[in-house]
Structure 1
Amino acid sequence: MADENSFDDLLKKLDEDEIKIIVQLYVIKRGKRVTNIKGFTDQEKMESIAHELKKTIGTGGTAKNGMIVLQGDHRSKVTEFLLTKGYPRESIEVI
């Protein structure tokens, strides 16, 4: 059983290494700007990161359907936050 768990951990680690996170700015109705962050595979981790981001940046937002949506243009702040969380720069694409 221990070997099976370590194999699952290894697969999970490989999935994390291949994650491509996309940070993108959208302009919605009446010129309002929102920052979308997508590419997370784990829903719980995504919700946790969304909560921390909203608290750190001081903005509103939500996490659903595999995407984090923050009110306002926070592309640079999100990128710096993800780098401090250990995501490699190569896995973060800012559009």
Structure 2
Amino acid sequence: MDLSDQLKNLFPDHVPEDTGEENNTEPKYWLQDDPIICKYEKRKGKPVTILEGYNGADSDFKILAKDIKTLLGVGGSFKKETIVIQGDYRDKIMNFLKENGFKVKRVGG
């Protein structure tokens, strides 16, 4: 007996409301035809991952940067249409972008 059955026994007259969980096919980000370039550099001796080539709105790019930083639990910044993520996370970032419908091109090693 799961929780919903127990609740039905306690409140037989209650009609559950629609949870609103519909299949929302609208993408969270603006998708583009050109691939996003994902590259690795060292700045001041520390590894960074750089994402370039997104030509959507700045607000979409900032949301994408925030989601990537939250996913990885690292710091980063958004400047001049590039996202700079602290550390070498190319594989994880590329998987995240592909899952969200982006085309990604890996540059360098």
TM-score normalised by structure 2 residue count: 0.66
2:99 corresponds to: 84
Quote the Cα distance in structure 1 between the aligned partners of 2:32 and 2:87: 27
Which consecutive residues of structure 2, in runs of 5 or more, have no partner in the other structure? 1-29
Q: TM-score scaled by structure 1?
A: 0.75
Question: Alignment partner for residue 36 of structure 1, among 44, 50, 56?
Answer: 50
Larger radius of gyration: 2
**Secondary structure, aligned partner of 1:40:** coil
Q: Secondary structure at the match of 1:26?
A: strand
Distance in 2, Cα, partners of 1:92 & 1:56? 18
| Root mean square deviation of aligned Cα | 1.6
Distance of 1:34 and 1:82 partners within structure 2: 17
C-alpha distance in structure 2 between counterparts of 1:40 and 1:46, whole Å: 7
Give percent identity, aligned residues only: 32
- Which blocks of at least 5 consecutive residues in structure 1 are unaligned? 1-12
Q: 1:20 Cα deviation (Å)?
A: 2.0
The ranges of structure 1 where at least 4 consecutive aligned residues each deviate by more than 6 angstroms after the TM superposition are none
Q: Which residue of 2 aligns with 1:93?
A: 105
